[in-house]
Amino acid sequence: MLIDWLAIAPEIALTVTALVVLLADLNLRGTAKQLIAPLAGIGTVVAIVFTAVLWGDERTNFGGTFVINDFAVVFKLLFLGALLAILGISWRYFAESRYFQGEYYFLLLTSFVGMIIMPSARDLILLFIALETVSVPAFVMAGMRKRSLYSSEAALKFFLIGVLSVALMLFGMSMIYGFTGSTYLPDIAAGIEAIGTTEPLLLGAVMLVIVGFGFKISAVPFHFWAPDTYAGSPMPVAAMLAVASKAAGFAGLLAITFIAFEPLAEVWAPVLGVLAILTMTLGNLVALQQRDLIRLLAYSSVAQAGYMLIPFGLARSGPDAVVVNDAAVQAVMFYLVAYAVMNIGAFGVAIAVNRRTAIRSIADYAGLSARSPLLALGMTVFLLSLGGAPPTVGLWAKLEIVRAAMTDATPFGVVLMVFLVINSVIAFFYYLRVIKTMWMDEAREGLPELQPGFNLSAVVVVLMVGTVVLFVLPGLISGATSLTGLVAAG
Amino acid sequence: MDPNTAGWALVVALFLPLVGAGALAMMPASMDRQIRRAAVVITGVAFALVVAITAFFDFGRSGELQFTTDVPWITAIGARFELGMDGISLPLFFLTYLLTFLCAIYTTKHLPAPGKPKAFLSLMLMLQTGMAGTFVAFDLVLFFIFWELVLVPMFFMIGMWGGARRDYASVKFFLYTLFGSIFMLVAFLAIYFQAGAETWSIQALSEMAPFGSATFQTWAFFGIFLGFAIKVPMWPFHTWLPDAHTEAPTVGSVLLAGVLLKMGTYGFIRIALPILPEGSVRFAPLIGVLAVIGIIYGSLCCLAQTDVKRLIAFSSVGHMGFVMLGVAAMNEAGIQAALFGNIAHGIITGMLFFLAGSLHERYHTREIAVIGGGMLKKIPRYGVVLTFVAVASLGLPGLAGFWGEFTAMWAAISPGLGIGDTYSGLYLGLVVFAAIGTVLTAGYFLWLLQRVNLGEPSERWAAEPLDDVMRIEWVSWTPLLVLILALGIFPVLIFGVQDAAVTNLMGYLGG
């Protein structure tokens, strides 16, 4: 079998970078270890270049189990961009706390190797490997503040839940292999079509796989690890888990539901639709009660996963469903890109404000506008975007979801929209509360001066500008995500 | 400037405030005075440009779109950047620039705690672009963007410079309006797909109408209705308004009453009616009933208020009821009345909020009982101005407030589009109750004047040195006072401009 090296060049570049980082960590001493972060950054840029080259290309590798198409390239660019941003917000955090810099960057890069494999994977086994490559380093990273009990709790919870979800998923996958005789996604679709929807055990297997991904994207009722893990992990790791790891889960879920399980859409779409309703409603209601900003962002990201699940609830099977399914896939991808920009930004500001103080209560944000207008403005833009108000890209993200629902409106789609509306309003209540605290309340006396540092400020500014520019020109994303044929290219 | 080709003029006028907001934000906060002056210059230049646009507007063809711009914007969803103005847009657009200019002048002297003119004026300029854009956007997506753009600056204006309960009022305003506008967005998308023409253009969709089944028309209208009715606001969706108006700083209240509320009625007339004619006809009686309930309810609430500003806020509920009664009439006179009432209410109530703000500056209270009368003796010029505007607001013939209310009632006696065949009794009843509402309106305003203007100044204020109307106030108020009189004597100034455009609109409605 010939290997198409160019198709896997981004993965190779990132893997090599990870190894170089590990070697550098062994050989560098003391403050010289700070050089590791720029090293990782350079490797990421190289990987981005290799990915960008693939734009517009259609390639397959390893007998069709690994594909390159625009769907995959968009996701890879999203992940690598997120990696660059996370490197930016990590630098000071780890350089100052001086622990495990080399290990951290090595694990981070490894995890992202898994992520960029995910959107290309068209085989259950490759999907599984990618998912594990994402998760296993993340278990370790969550526990990196090892002197903190919270961090250990975070890591342990994350690990146990992660392993449980993987076990369920594997069980489901093995049964699917038993029914269809293949691990290749398009073949599974053909196999399922031949069997029909009458086999209860097959439906059970499908549900098990979906539940496994449900843990990854922290959908209710599989979400309870997320807030504790985010709150306990080092903050850059929380940002990575909330954005990149979740996006990887969605990439896998998109591929497996819209390609392999497409003939069963009538069964899983309502299930995921109901999960969407539960996820956004519960996430928002619990977020209302939070006093800790990271926990608030955690529950908000649970709710955001709920919004992103809505398009799954609209999916249908059969040849007539192509238009609706395309609109649904596109809505998810658009939302993921927007979500990455705004959520990493929000975590970045949180890191800048709370880097030196262990307390992360929302009350600490009082008077942020006076302490650092830039950070306050950034946080305002990101929170408005998460809520979906202009002038931010979050508005278009919501619009894409509504558009998918209205493409061919069904009663269930309208129900989903009603919940989306109600939830958007609830969500604004807590986003506005933070904004209000930053701008309208007086700062406490004696707070340390804020020194976000160049990297972090740059990331916040770039993401903030991005949030607004993408509002004016959403074509930059929607042009790239208007893909007809995730399914066809499978 | 040729109205057929000079689309750039409208674009410049629209985005000049936004650019100005950015420029103000760049100025160092210590340059307090210069910042306030710069804002006056920016809004002044924008207003001058709008005056020029008005001068070059071809009034002979006011039914057609002029100063149009139409370029592709988001190709993936087919949204276009489509601007233009006709006889319906022009008065509202003009009013927006006039009021913002006057507010900027007013702010050179008056700005409530915590000061910060830079932030305040930047937000006001952002708000201006949002408000003005709503009236000239002819693409549903673009309309929605401008519509939503208004929320954030207004939230901050109320939340940072507002009164004691500003937290509550600002969040309530934001969430309430947001709730309606997302339903509106869903309805817009439903219209887009139902029409199946891959266009968001309000003109094109109006020409295609009616489309879709009766059920579709009903539900789509309902979604849009929620968005616009909350903004107007119609009873029972009005509860955000008294809080927002009362707590907002003076400039915020003026713009809220003067322009923001108009976006709702404008939306009904520009979008809901022509694109969903069948839904409109079905909903018209309901709108009429809610409008009249609003008139009576608003007036009764006014009678019970002890705070001058809150009283004016509730009077808005009543006045917007008359505007919506005009819409519910579904005939040419009714639409004319609604649009005229819009403008008149914007000028009069905007002016009333200026007066309420200045009252607070002087007495440091707005409680009628604490002020306790005698203003005509204590500060005679202010007292006279207040009397003039209050009388205009209660609808005295010869002043601007009269024409909107009178014409709306007149139009509602014989509603159009076949509504009269089924509901003539209902509409007659509505007119009777609306007429009772005018009596109540006169009642609470005259009672207000009696309590604050007449009599002797109470002991507390007799010795207090209070300023009469200041120079800066004369400058910012005179244009409005002149307009109140001018529109009262020459209502054709508005009616004439709108005439052709309203005829066009009725053509879409099939009446």
The predicted complex's ipTM stands at: 0.83
pLDDT above 70: residue A174: yes
Select the highest-mean-pLDDT range: A28-32, A195-199, A364-368: A364-368
Rounded to an integer, what distance in angstroms lies between the CA atom of residue B25 and that of residue B432?
Answer: 53
Largest CA distance in chain A: 70
Do A210 and A271 form a contact (C-beta atoms < 8 A)?
yes
Backbone angles phi, psi at B85, to 5 degrees: -145, 145
Range of weakest confidence among A31-35, A362-366, B46-50, B483-487: A31-35
Residues from chain A contacting residue B192 (CB–CB below 8 Å): 406
- Domain membership flag for residue B124: yes
Strands (DSSP E) contained in B349-506 are none
**Could you give the residue ranges of the DSSP H alpha helices within A233-292?**
235-240, 246-255, 265-288
Q: Which residues contact B162 (CB under 8 A, 6 or more apart)?
A: B169, B170, B247, B248, B249, B252
Interface test with A, best of B177, B185, B194 (most A CBs within 10 A): B185
Rounded to an integer, what distance in angstroms lies between the CA atom of residue B313 and that of residue B307?
Answer: 10
Rounded to an integer, what distance in angstroms lies between the CA atom of residue A241 and that of residue B444?
Answer: 61
pLDDT above 60: residue A490: no
Q: Give per-residue pLDDT as tens, A76-92.
A: 998 999 999 999 888 87
Rounded to an integer, what distance in angstroms lies between the CA atom of residue B455 and that of residue B368?
Answer: 13
Range of weakest confidence among A27-31, A354-358, A453-457: A354-358
Rounded to an integer, what distance in angstroms lies between the CA atom of residue A83 and that of residue A93?
Answer: 15
Interface test with A, best of B74, B141, B149 (most A CBs within 10 A): B74
Q: Does B30 touch chain A (CB under 8 A)?
A: no
Q: Does A475 touch chain B (CB under 8 A)?
A: yes
Mean pLDDT of A346-367: 80
CB pairs under 8 A between A and B: 82
Q: Where does the pLDDT of residue A479 fall: very low under 50, low under 70, confident under 90, or very high at 90 and above? A: low
pLDDT above 90: residue B47: yes
Do A121 and A71 form a contact (C-beta atoms < 8 A)?
no
Rounded to an integer, what distance in angstroms lies between the CA atom of residue B203 and that of residue B229?
Answer: 22
Interface test with B, best of A428, A433, A468, A481 (most B CBs within 10 A): A428
Residues from chain B contacting residue A391 (CB–CB below 8 Å): 149, 152
Rounded to an integer, what distance in angstroms lies between the CA atom of residue B344 and that of residue B403?
Answer: 8
- Domain membership flag for residue B1: no
Can you give the pLDDT at residue A454? 83
More confidently predicted of A451 and B58: B58
What's the angle, vertex CA B291, arms to CA B285 and CA B295, rounded to 5? 145
Q: Does B152 touch chain A (CB under 8 A)?
A: yes
Query: If DSSP codes are grouped into helix, strand and coil, which group holds residue A123?
Result: strand
Q: Which residue on chain A is closest to B191 by alpha carbon?
A: A406
Q: Where does the pLDDT of residue B461 fall: very low under 50, low under 70, confident under 90, or very high at 90 and above? A: confident
For A139: left if phi > 0, alpha if psi spans -120 to 50, otherwise beta; the answer is alpha
Mean pLDDT of B447-460: 85
- CA within 13 Å, CB half, B343: 35
Residues from chain A contacting residue B186 (CB–CB below 8 Å): 402, 405-406, 417, 421
Contact state of A421 with B179 under an 8 Å Cβ cutoff: yes
Sign of the alpha-carbon dihedral angle for A189, A194, A198, A202? negative
The radius of gyration computed from the CA coordinates of chain B, to the nearest angstrom, equals: 22
Do B65 and B85 form a contact (C-beta atoms < 8 A)?
yes
Amino acid letter for position A120: S
B380-393 vs B400-413: helix axis angle to the nearest 10?
10
For A298: left if phi > 0, alpha if psi spans -120 to 50, otherwise beta; the answer is alpha
- Domain membership flag for residue B238: yes
Q: Give per-residue pLDDT as tens, A104-120.
A: 899 999 999 999 999 88
Neighbours of B397 (CB within 10 A): 9
Instruction: Please name the residue that has the structure tokens 């985010």.
Output: A230
Could you say which DSSP state residue A196 is in? -
Q: What residues of chain B, 163 to 202, have a C-beta less than 8 Å from chain A?
A: 166-167, 170-171, 174-175, 178-179, 182-183, 185-186, 189-190, 192-193
Q: Does A316 touch chain B (CB under 8 A)?
A: no
Residues in chain A: 490
Rounded to an integer, what distance in angstroms lies between the CA atom of residue A433 and that of residue A428?
Answer: 8
* Percentage of chain A lying above the pLDDT 90 cut: 33
For A28: left if phi > 0, alpha if psi spans -120 to 50, otherwise beta; the answer is beta
Q: Where does the pLDDT of residue B338 fall: very low under 50, low under 70, confident under 90, or very high at 90 and above? A: very high
* Domains in chain B, number: 1
Structure tokens at A148: 């903190």
Can you give the pLDDT at residue B212? 82
Rounded to an integer, what distance in angstroms lies between the CA atom of residue B427 and that of residue A200?
Answer: 61
Can you give the pLDDT at residue A359? 62
Rounded to an integer, what distance in angstroms lies between the CA atom of residue A85 and that of residue A447?
Answer: 27
pLDDT above 60: residue A489: no
Question: B391 lies in which domain range?
Answer: 7-509
Helix, strand, coil shares of chain A, percent, nearest 5, are 80, 0, 20
Query: Omega before B457 cis (within 30°)?
Result: no
Contact state of A439 with B156 under an 8 Å Cβ cutoff: yes
Q: Give per-residue pLDDT as tens, A440-467.
A: 888 777 777 777 778 888 889 999 999 9
Give the DSSP letter string of B93-124. HHHHHHHHHHHHHHHTT---TT--HHHHHHHH
pLDDT above 70: residue A267: yes
Backbone angles phi, psi at B295, to 5 degrees: -60, -50
pLDDT above 50: residue A488: no
Q: Where does the pLDDT of residue A1 fall: very low under 50, low under 70, confident under 90, or very high at 90 and above? A: low
Q: Give per-residue pLDDT as tens, A380-423.
A: 999 999 998 888 899 889 988 988 888 887 889 889 998 998 99
Rounded to an integer, what distance in angstroms lies between the CA atom of residue B381 and that of residue B468?
Answer: 6
Sign of the alpha-carbon dihedral angle for B234, B240, B245, B246? positive
Mean pLDDT of B175-189: 88
Structure tokens at B100: 């913002």
> In angstroms, what separates the C-alpha of B19 from chain A's closest C-alpha?
14
When the pLDDT of each residue in chain B is averaged and rounded to a whole number, the result is 89
Sign of the alpha-carbon dihedral angle for B419, B423, B424, B426? negative
Q: Give per-residue pLDDT as tens, B212-267.
A: 888 889 989 999 999 999 998 898 898 999 999 989 999 999 999 999 999 999 99
- Domain membership flag for residue B2: no
Can you give the pLDDT at residue B398? 87
- Domain membership flag for residue B487: yes
Rounded to an integer, what distance in angstroms lies between the CA atom of residue B67 and that of residue B84?
Answer: 5
Evaluate if pTM is beyond 0.80: yes
Query: Which value, to the nearest 10 degrees, does the dihedral of the CA atoms of residues B428, B429, B431, B432 take?
Result: 120
Closest Cβ opposite residue B171 in set A384, A405, A429 = A429
